Amino acid sequence: MSQPDGSQTDNSLTDSEMQARLLTQALPYMQRYENKTIVVKYGGHAMGNAELGRAFASDIALLKQSGVNPIVVHGGGPQIGAMLAKMGIESKFEGGLRVTDQKTVEIVEMVLAGSINKEIVALINQTGEWAIGLCGKDGNMVFAEKAKKTVVDPDSNIERILDLGFVGEVVEVDRTLIDLLAKSEMIPVIAPVAPGRDGHTYNINADTFAGAIAGALNATRLLFLTDVPGVLNKQGELIKELSVAEARALIKDGTISGGMIPKVETCIEAIKAGVQGVVILNGKTAHSVLLEIFTERGAGTLIVP
């Protein structure tokens, strides 16, 4: 069947013609991102789904094969919670954040820098690419300090300081090791665990950790794989692109609410740190990374300066 202008509809294309069209559309974007750094924060439900995990690994491999320099940062909150329960350690939360005592931080490091990290590395290596598992401790890549969080008591309206134990905030990133790995064609997969100058080990929120890494590398893109399509307007429709000023206005008027607020604020902080653009997209959609990077429409919400 033909269009009025004589062109074919997608329904009439053969598989080969469709693949050729997709490759043709992707080529300009491959050229745009060649030799550029893209940091991908991997987590959420996609991490617990074997099929989505393989799709994610193939996306990262294809980025590398296309001349892009991908860096993976991952979380693992549900897996940490499950291991703590298995070990008989009760999870305590303050202001929505996990309190991390000495026993807990040991489990956190074991799960994040151990089992989860190596699982992601293995998936990428199965594609034929070379991934290497790291955490902030390796090569003194990241240093952290004890997080300073406060919460306002709703009854007294008095602000109090939360003691979250060994929950940390990034204070320094040294990109030397990451740059060396990029030159050696390896794909770094980084767990958000880092040492402090005080000798302690700190558990760091994976989103803020990824933002700090991306900022230090002046990354072209930082992708947050989440459990939602992106930022939605009041009608529930996806917003394709926002400036920092527009994002702040949507927080102020309540369009951006709940758990999306800290996500967007992390995006804004990453842009202030030097990232050219940050994307919130749905990790439950197979190949969402490729759809975002190599297609015109993208796959989520792009936040730019």
> For 233-275, how does the pLDDT look when each residue is reduced to its tens digit (9 = 90+)?
989 899 999 999 999 999 999 999 888 888 899 999 999 999 9
Which tokens in the block code for residue 4? 């009025």
**Cα 262 from Cα 245, distance rounded (Å):** 16
CA distances from 187 to 127, 241, 244, 296 (A): 12, 28, 30, 26
203 annotated binding-site participant: yes
Q: For residues 221-247, b (16+ Cβ closer than 10 Å) or e, as one string?
A: bbbbbbebbbbbeeeeebbeebebeeb
pLDDT band for position 149 (cuts 50, 70, 90): confident
Give 13-46 pLDDT, tens digit per residue.
565 565 555 556 656 666 677 889 999 999 866 6
Helix extents (H) in the chain: 15-33, 50-65, 77-86, 102-110, 117-125, 176-183, 206-216, 244-252, 260-273, 288-294
Which of 216, 211, 214, 205 is CA-nearest to residue 266? 211
Average pLDDT of the segment spanning 186-214: 95
Q: For residues 55 and 53, what is the distance between their CA atoms, to the nearest angstrom?
A: 5
54 among annotated binding-site residues: no
Q: Give the contacts of 210 (CB within 8 A, at least 6 positions apart).
A: 39, 40, 41, 73, 192, 222, 224, 270
- For 278-287, the pLDDT digits (tens) are 999 988 888 8
- Mean pLDDT of all residues in 122-142: 96
Residue that is written with structure tokens 């709940």 in the block: 258
Domains of the chain by start residue, with CATH: 35-304 (3.40.1160.10)
- pLDDT tens-digit series, residues 97-128: 778 999 999 999 999 999 999 999 999 999 99
Contact 42, 72 (CB under 8 A): yes
pLDDT value of residue 30: 64
Residue 22: alpha-carbon gap to chain centroid: 26
Match 């527009």 to its residue by tokens. 246
Return mean pLDDT, the chain.
86
**Residue 291 pLDDT greater than 90, yes or no:** no
Both structure tokens of 282: 């749905």
